[in-house]
Amino acid sequence: MGIHDTDPNTLNKEFAPESWHVPTDAEWTTLENHLIANGFNYDDTTIGNKINKAIASTTGWNISTVEGGPGNEQSGNNSSGFNAFPVGSASGYSGEFSSEGYQALFWTSTVVANASYLVHNRTLSGGSSEMWTNGNYKPSGFSVRLVKD
């Protein structure tokens, strides 16, 4: 279930090592729901998606005054142990990096329905308590977290 390279000149075709895979959009949703249901929202509630601080690293975020955002009081981040670091992203067309210190973006392995050029991803922003689900162009450069089969 890893992402495979179809270029015949590439020696290592598989993205994920054996017995690991890039999580699907549904697997990310399962993680989100687990964290919410188990009180990992920044305000200790079990309603709504307010889990950014729980999965964000304790360093690297631009300062923010938004309550519940990873950039606000970073020492309170990463209660889940996920440790999402805000490396930002790279444009798939220009190769330019952006949003370092402000966003952590993670690929899923799920293609957006009716838009085969887009893949679902999860976004944490330093100025928000909520993790977002987006669809982005395949050539974009985001972080990847692998899941053990």
Report d(CA 140, CA 75) in Å as an integer: 30
Q: Is residue 20 part of a domain?
A: no
Q: Is residue 16 part of a domain?
A: no
36-66 confidence digits (pLDDT tens): 999 999 999 999 999 999 999 999 999 999 9
Question: Could you give the number of structural domains in the chain?
Answer: 1
CA distances for 52 relative to 7, 47, 49, 98, angstroms? 37, 14, 8, 19
- What's the number of CA atoms in the CB half-sphere (13 Å) around residue 116? 0
Q: Range of 42's domain?
A: 25-148
Number of neighbouring beta carbons within 10 Å of residue 26:
10
The parts of the chain modelled with pLDDT lower than 70 are 1-14
What is the average pLDDT score of the chain? 91
Q: Is residue 85 part of a domain?
A: yes
Report d(CA 89, CA 111) in Å as an integer: 19
* pLDDT of the residue at 2: 41
Which position has the token pair 């909520």?
Answer: 130
